[in-house]
């Protein structure tokens, strides 16, 4: 049992790369497609809807049929979509976008399933997996700007297949346990499971919306954008690692409160802002842990609630934005208070894994 847990941190690093590659191919193709479209804002909206919302259904399927190699299948679908984008046939672009979204959903869900089941109730595994996406997003955008060929991007996807196959080996080891996710026990037992699901999803929605409203007028160069996405990735990974070390509730409340002054004061100061972004990103794995705590037998479905939340949080941005820095600061402050209250009420006092797990 101990040997299994020590080895299974490898599942997080394997899916760090798979997630990285997934976002590279998706945001490479999205950047190119949006640049070719007169209605460029519609492309990201379609992508978010088709890639994020169905992940709850895909997650439920994965919970029931764990032997289906969703990760490998998703990578193959994304490679095929990349080739379709590069074929030059206009009628195939939106078909390719749908295939790309399905592949994205498959790899995301499989990554969540593998890392959650292999974690022994720890957050660091899934946090490392999620962090890979931030590095992939900026890399995909940069490769599109550099006009790297579709063939090379599709070839990159194939390099992730062995990583996904090896991660399945770790999952099979973990599934020998009767309930691989029983170590997730981070929420108050006094609160109904349905309310925990609602609160955690609402926190994700709020955080998803806030992420688009962070004042970053300093972000004017490619290097600054790279720094922004990289620090997001570092924050996501650090949140899970620190939560395992110091307790989920402590890290959740500290990072949420600590982020606020840096976000508010960092509009024109990159290093100040980046500290706030790092703290802001640290709760990503914590909301997932809350959901798995009440959905231990269906971690794929639990992960699906987080992606629905991210989609709902991003939707308003496509239709209106607060252009005033002051307005953004007021909104961010108000939403931060809501998140602190929600996390403070729902998380367990100890905020740590049960002894012996």
The chain-wide mean pLDDT, for the chain, equals 88
How confident is the model over 186-226, as pLDDT tens digits?
999 999 999 999 999 999 998 888 888 788 889 999 999 99
Model pTM score:
0.91
Tell me where in the chain the CATH 1.20.1250 domain(s) lie.
2-174, 193-346
- 2-174: CATH class: mainly alpha
CA 330, 197, 111, 44 torsion-angle sign: negative
CATH number of 193-346: 1.20.1250
The answer, yes or no, to whether residue 303 has pLDDT greater than 80, is yes
pLDDT at 281: 92
Q: Distance between CA atoms of 120 and 19, rounded to whole angstroms?
A: 21
110 or 154, greater pLDDT: 110
For helices 55-64 and 93-117, give the axis angle rounded to 10 degrees.
50
How confident is the model over 318-327, as pLDDT tens digits?
777 666 778 8
Sorted by sequence, the CB contacts under 8 Å of residue 118 that are 6+ apart come out as: 8, 11, 12, 125, 170, 171, 173, 174, 180
The answer, yes or no, to whether residue 6 has pLDDT greater than 50, is no
Give me 161's structure tokens: 């297949």
The answer, yes or no, to whether residue 343 has pLDDT greater than 90, is yes
How confident is the model over 233-263, as pLDDT tens digits?
999 999 999 999 999 999 999 999 999 999 8
Cβ–Cβ under 8 Å, residues 277 and 234: no
pLDDT at 171: 83
Cβ–Cβ under 8 Å, residues 163 and 14: yes
**If you average pLDDT over residues 290-300, what whole number do you get?**
95
How confident is the model over 130-179, as pLDDT tens digits?
999 999 999 999 999 998 888 889 889 999 999 999 988 888 887 777 78
pLDDT at 186: 95
Sorted by sequence, the CB contacts under 8 Å of residue 7 that are 6+ apart come out as: 170, 173
Residue for token pair 């309930």: 179
Give me 76's structure tokens: 């193959």
**If you average pLDDT over residues 85-90, what whole number do you get?**
71
Cβ–Cβ under 8 Å, residues 66 and 175: yes
pLDDT at 344: 93
Give me 284's structure tokens: 């990503």
The answer, yes or no, to whether residue 7 has pLDDT greater than 70, is no
Cβ–Cβ under 8 Å, residues 107 and 133: no
Q: Where are the beta strands (DSSP E) in the chain?
A: none
pLDDT at 154: 86
pLDDT at 338: 92
């Amino acid at each position: 049992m101990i040997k299994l847990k020590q080895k299974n941190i490898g599942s997080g690093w394997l899916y760090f790369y798979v997630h990285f590659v997934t976002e590279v191919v998706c945001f490479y193709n999205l950047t190119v497609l949006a640049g070719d479209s007169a209605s460029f804002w519609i492309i990201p909206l379609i992508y978010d809807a088709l890639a994020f919302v169905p992940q709850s259904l895909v997650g439920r399927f994965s919970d029931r049929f764990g032997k289906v190699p969703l990760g490998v299948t998703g990578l193959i679908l994304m490679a095929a979509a990349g080739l379709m984008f590069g074929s030059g046939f206009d009628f195939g672009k939106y078909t390719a976008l749908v295939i790309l979204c399905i592949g994205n959903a498959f790899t995301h869900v499989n990554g969540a399933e593998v890392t959650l089941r292999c974690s022994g109730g720890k957050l660091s595994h899934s946090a490392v997996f999620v962090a890979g996406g931030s590095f992939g997003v900026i890399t995909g955008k940069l490769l599109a700007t550099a006009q790297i060929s579709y063939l090379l991007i599709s070839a990159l996807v194939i390099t992730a297949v062995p990583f996904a196959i090896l991660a399945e080996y770790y999952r099979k080891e973990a599934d020998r346990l009767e309930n691989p996710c029983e170590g997730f026990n981070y929420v108050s037992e006094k609160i109904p499971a349905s309310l925990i699901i609602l609160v955690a999803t609402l926190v994700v929605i709020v955080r998803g919306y806030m992420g688009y409203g962070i004042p970053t007028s300093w972000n004017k160069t490619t290097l600054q954008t790279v720094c922004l996405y990289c620090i997001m990735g570092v924050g996501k990974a650090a949140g899970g690692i620190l939560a395992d070390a110091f307790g989920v509730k402590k890290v959740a409340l500290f990072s949420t409160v600590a982020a606020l002054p840096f976000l508010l004061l960092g509009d024109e100061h990159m290093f100040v802002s980046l500290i706030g972004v790092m703290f802001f990103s640290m709760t990503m794995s914590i909301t997932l842990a809350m959901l798995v705590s009440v959905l231990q037998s269906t971690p794929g479905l639990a992960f699906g609630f987080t992606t629905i939340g991210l989609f709902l949080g991003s939707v308003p941005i496509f239709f209106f934005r607060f252009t005033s820095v002051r307005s953004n600061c007021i909104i961010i402050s108000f939403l931060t208070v809501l998140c602190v209250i929600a996390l403070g009420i729902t998380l367990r006092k100890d905020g740590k894994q049960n002894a012996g797990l």
